[in-house]
Every structure is written in structure tokens, then in C-alpha cells.
Amino acid sequence: MTHWVPELLAPAGSLEKLKVAVLYGANAVYLGGQKFGLRTAADNFTLPELEEGVSFAHQHGSLVYVVLNSFLHDEDLEDLPGFLQELERLKVDAVIVSDLGVIETIKEHSNLEIHLSTQASCLNIEAAKLWKKTGVTRIVLGREVSIYEAAAIKKASGLEVEMFIHGSMCMAYSGNCVISNYTQGRDSNRGGCAHSCRFEYSLEGEGVNKVQNTFMSSKDLLGIRVVKEFIEAGIDSLKVEGRMKSHHYAGTVSKIYSEALKFYSQYGTKPKDQSERALFQERESSWEKELEKLSHRDYTQASLVEKAGADSIYDERDQLVKDYVISGLVLESKESEHILVQVRSAFRPGERLELVPFEGESIRFELDDFYDLNGTKVEKSKPGQLVKLPWFKEAKPWNFIRRAP
């Protein structure tokens, strides 16, 4: 018997990352086109890429949602109908929207399913009921909402509910921050966020000692320990932040959270006996360890269980860079000949690496001699270089290889 589990929704910052996320287990991906989203500096998808992405995802049983979550001005809306028709033609599964004008335009020009973006900061039942009247079918709740509250919102509104489970977080109520607009001349709600909340500030005032701190910077969300609670609350979709992040990130979060969901689908959320309890603990601990291997700010559960407190502030300017770095991405597997790897960080013959397959345990191996494209033996690879490693059957295109500690 299998138990119901939510959808895992992963970020796809590019066509390659879409493939990585889907192959590593995401049930759905979200992505942006060249306009109308909030990641102006990201790669984003051209229409041909979007077509290929939708086709690839659908072939693998995954859904594709397209973000149109900018707060658009009148002049931005002019180009939207044409894009909507393209999205409908490509059979994207939903669009993610935060602006009421965009919702109205979508309804007028297409039959696309509409999900309300977290940018709209939907926080309570009454808000959900109002948004329901606008025609949205799913709400991506504000990150301030707890799982318990989300269950109540779902029940009372009758809408599908999506919540963030992992990744970087805005400290402000989403859509309620215009620091970039006034300090950089860039509209944060049309894709120009300069991440001023991550800056270090000196704070001074009457009766307080001056301090210097990144007081507006939030730790990163980690929800792996409360996947069970999400399931029990009936949350429809678990979303991972990070369209600007690496292949390694897209693959790892997709793999780990999908493994967790498959596990709970098989066992349910409550261990039946002592041995299952031990198995649950062992698995949960191993998933958490895997997620620790990604570069990230310190983790927090933010407001998933109780309101985020002072311990959710990240007091460093930069992210932690982990020793567990990605060494390369498999681009091609030529049976009995080689695997072709795009190097991401340098490695040498004799080093211990591990291949992260789409499912199951990582495969550790000691690297033999390897060669460049001309067949010359490589003493030390360089980032960006293509190298040929000895072939082994488990390696598939879009797997990543990382240095084993």
C-alpha cells in the first residue's frame, strides 16, 4: 500500500537544470521566460527551450509551471497576451502570478491554470477566500505561514496549497520590499532585487551601542525534518527555492526530497514499530546530512512550526562554501568508451570522487588516469574543461560527480 504524498516542485533556472531536477526526482518544475518573472539576471528560457523543457518534463511525468510573478505596469501587460498564447500552445501546466492585473489578463486571453505566487503574501483564510474569487486554483502561501495554519487555509478555502520547504528566504513579507527601487533604481518586484537585505549594516540610535550586522538577512529554510508534518497537513505541493542556483543544488534537493517523499509514501508518516522508528531516524538523519553538503547559509525551519525568532537571522555576509564541492557534470556516457565530464572544480588522478546517481546511494570511486579531448593525459583538470573519465555503467548524462571527503 502506498500513502499519499505531496508534489515536489523544484526550481529550473535553465533547460539543463530542468533536466537535472526532473531526472533527480522532481514531480514538477517552475521556470521563467525571458520576461514577466522576478529573476532578470537569470538565464531564463527562450521559447524553443521552453518547448523542449515542457516536452522533456512531460515525457518524464513531471509538470511545468511558468512564473509570471512580477507586479506589472500597464506597459508591461501589452506583451503578455502573445506570451500567454505561446504558453498555452506549449501546454504548460500552470502559471504562477502575483498581480491581479496579470490574473485578469490571463483569464481574458487564455485558459491557463493560475497559481497565486508567494509574492502576493497570502497569509490567512480570508485572503485565500478572496483570491479564490479571482480564479486562482492554488495558493503559494507566504513563508510566514506555519504548516498548521496552512492546513486550516486549505480546508477552509478549498484551494490547493503550496509551501516552500527549502532554500533562501526573503526576510520581508514577499512583495512588501522596495529597498532596491529606492536605493538602486531597480524595481525589486519586476525582477531587479539587489538583495540589499543581505548587506551588512551599522545600526546606531539613542540608548544603544552601535552594532554592525547583517540583521536583515535570513537563514535558509530547511524542511526535511518536517516533511511528515507537510504530508499529514495535506499540503499539495512542496516548493524548493533557487532558480539562480547550481546544477548540484537542483539535483541534490530534488533527489533528497523526492527520496523522502517516496519513503513516506511507502511507510507512511508514523513508524509502526521500533525497527521502523530506527529506520525513520536513520533516513531522516542521512537526508539532512546530504543537504548539509550543499553551499548554504545556516539552516532554519523559519515559521514552518513556530514563528521565526531571532535565531533565524543569518549573521554572516556570505554563504558557507562547503568542502563537499561538485567536481563535474556528466554530459555524455559513451558505452565502453568513456564518460565525458565538464569539470566544475579541479581534480587529479588518484582522488576519491563519488557519482550521485538519480536514485540510490552515491557510488564512490578512486579516479584512474583521465584524458582531455585530444587523448592527452590530464595531470590536473581545470574548471570548465571537458575530460574523459573511464566509463562505468551507472554514469548517466546530467549526473554530477563530487569529491568525496
Partner 1 sequence: MKLVTYLSSSEQLEKLDPGLTSDVVIAPKSISRFGELSWDEALELAKESRARGFSAVLEWDVLQTQQDFSNTTRFLSQKDLSLFTAIRVQGPGALNWVKENLPEHVIQLVLETGNHNLVGLKRWRELAGPKLERLVLSLELSKDKLARYIEALDVPIELLGLGRILLFYTPRKLLSAQFIDHDDPETIRYHEKPKLEVAGSSEESPHRGFPIVENQHGTFMFNTKDHGLLENLSELQEMGLAFLRVDLRFADFMLWTLIEEFVRTRDLEYLQKIKTSYPAKTIKGYYNSNRTTRLFPKLKNARIQKRDQSFAAEVIDALKESHLGLMAKNPKRAVRRGDLLKLLAPDGREKSLRLTVLRNSVGEEVEQASEGELFFIPWVSGMNVKSMVFWASES
| Stretch 299-328 residues interacting with partner 1 (CB under 8 A) | 303, 307-310, 312-313
Contact (CB, 8 A) for 119 and 174: yes
391 interacts with partner 1 by CB under 8 A:
no
For residues 371 and 343, give the distance between their C-alpha atoms in angstroms, rounded to a whole number: 12
Nearer to partner 1, 71 or 257 (CB): 71
**Residue 322-361 contact track with partner 1, rule CB under 8 A, x = bound:** ---------xx-x--xx-x-x-------------------
Contact (CB, 8 A) for 21 and 251: yes
Residues 6+ apart with CB under 8 A from 278: none
98 interacts with partner 1 by CB under 8 A:
yes
- Catalogue the E-assigned strands of 37-159: 63-68, 94-97, 114-116, 138-140
For residues 301 and 222, give the distance between their C-alpha atoms in angstroms, rounded to a whole number: 5
Nearer to partner 1, 352 or 392 (CB): 392
Q: Which stretch binds partner 1 (CB under 8 A): 88-96, 103-111, 270-278, 347-355?
A: 103-111
Total residues contacting partner 1 by CB under 8 A comes to 104
Q: Kindly state the smallest distance separating residue 403's Cβ from partner 1, in Å.
A: 21
| Binds partner 1 by CB under 8 A, chosen from 88, 104, 232, 236 | 104
Q: Which stretch binds partner 1 (CB under 8 A): 149-157, 229-237, 261-269, 286-294?
A: 149-157
Q: Kindly state the smallest distance separating residue 252's Cβ from partner 1, in Å.
A: 22
Half-sphere exposure of 395 (CA within 13 A, CB side): 27
- Catalogue the E-assigned strands of 55-117: 63-68, 94-97, 114-116
Nearer to partner 1, 337 or 394 (CB): 337
Nearer to partner 1, 200 or 394 (CB): 200
286 interacts with partner 1 by CB under 8 A:
no
The interface with partner 1 within residues 227-246 (CB under 8 A) comprises none
Contact (CB, 8 A) for 330 and 396: yes
CA angle 84, 86, 91 (to 5 degrees): 95
**Residue 123-142 contact track with partner 1, rule CB under 8 A, x = bound:** xxxxx-xxx-xx-------x
Q: Cell 525534518 sits at which residue? A: 225
Sign of the CA dihedral with 172 first, then 174, 175, and 180 last? positive
Q: Which stretch binds partner 1 (CB under 8 A): 196-204, 224-232, 256-264, 356-364?
A: 196-204
Question: Widest CA span of the chain, in angstroms?
Answer: 72
Nearer to partner 1, 107 or 283 (CB): 107
